[in-house]
Amino acid sequence: MAKKTPNPIDKHVGSRVRMRRMMLGMSQEKLGDALDLTFQQVQKYEKGTNRIGASRLQQISHILQVPVSFFFEGAPLLPGQSASGMSEAPSPAYVSDFLATSDGLSLTKSFMRIKNPKLRRRIVELVEQMVGEEKD
C-alpha cells in the first residue's frame, strides 16, 4: 500500500505551528501538555501528517498568541485557485521551510536584533556575494 502524502495546506499550517512554537522557545511536549496531547501528536500536526481541526487550531492560536490567520499566511494555492483578489502573493515555500528550521529561526532572530539598517544591508550583500548572486 502506498504511503499517503500530506496535503500541502496541512503541511504549511503545521510548519507555521512549528515556526511559532520555536519562536516562543516552547517544546513540543509543552505545547502537547497545553493541548492535552502527546508530543508525538504535535509532531504529526507539524509535519502535516495529521490534519488540525478548526477548534484545535483555535486552541493552538490562543496558546501560541497569534491569530488563526497566521497559520495560513503564505499558504500555497490549491489547483484551480487564482491569486486575484488577494492582497499579496504567497511567500515562496522555501522561506517558510527555512524559518521552520532551528538554524533559520536562530539566524532570523539574531539578524533582527541588529539595530543598524546599514549594517544589516551590508550583511545581506556579503551573503549575496558569497553565493554569487547579483543584486536586483
* Domains held by the chain: number: 2
Name which of 52, 94, 90 is nearest 73 in CA terms. 90
Domain range enclosing 66: 1-75+92-100
**pLDDT surpassing 60 at residue 20:** yes
Give me the amino acid identity at 113.
Answer: R
Which residue would you say has higher pLDDT here, 91 or 62?
Answer: 62
Task: Give a yes or no: residue 64 inside a domain.
Answer: yes
For the chain, percent of residues with pLDDT exceeding 90: 38
How far apart CA 7 and CA 72 sit, in angstroms, is: 13
How far apart CA 3 and CA 114 sit, in angstroms, is: 45
Task: Give a yes or no: residue 80 inside a domain.
Answer: no
Q: Which tens digit of pLDDT belongs to each residue from 56-85?
A: 999 999 999 999 988 988 887 766 665 544
Give me the amino acid identity at 71.
Answer: F
Q: What is the pLDDT of residue 34?
A: 96
The pLDDT-based confidence of 4 (bands split at 50, 70, 90) is confident
Residues 63 and 5 in one domain: yes
When mean pLDDT is compared across 8-17, 62-71, 111-120, the lowest value belongs to 111-120
Residues 43 and 69 in one domain: yes
Task: Give a yes or no: residue 86 inside a domain.
Answer: no
Q: What is the pLDDT of residue 131?
A: 84
How far apart CA 26 and CA 22 sit, in angstroms, is: 6
Residues 114 and 71 in one domain: no
Residues 34 and 50 in one domain: yes
Residues 6 and 49 in one domain: yes
When mean pLDDT is compared across 18-22, 43-47, 98-102, the lowest value belongs to 98-102
Q: What is the pLDDT of residue 29?
A: 96
Burial 57-92 (b: 16+ CB within 10 A, else e): beebbebbebeeeebeebbeeeeeeeeeeeeeebee
How far apart CA 15 and CA 128 sit, in angstroms, is: 26
Domain of residue 61, CATH code: 1.10.260.40
Q: What is the pLDDT of residue 87?
A: 47
Phi, psi of 130 (to 5 degrees): -65, -35
Residues 71 and 127 in one domain: no
Report angle CA 121, 97, 50 to the nearest 5 degrees: 155
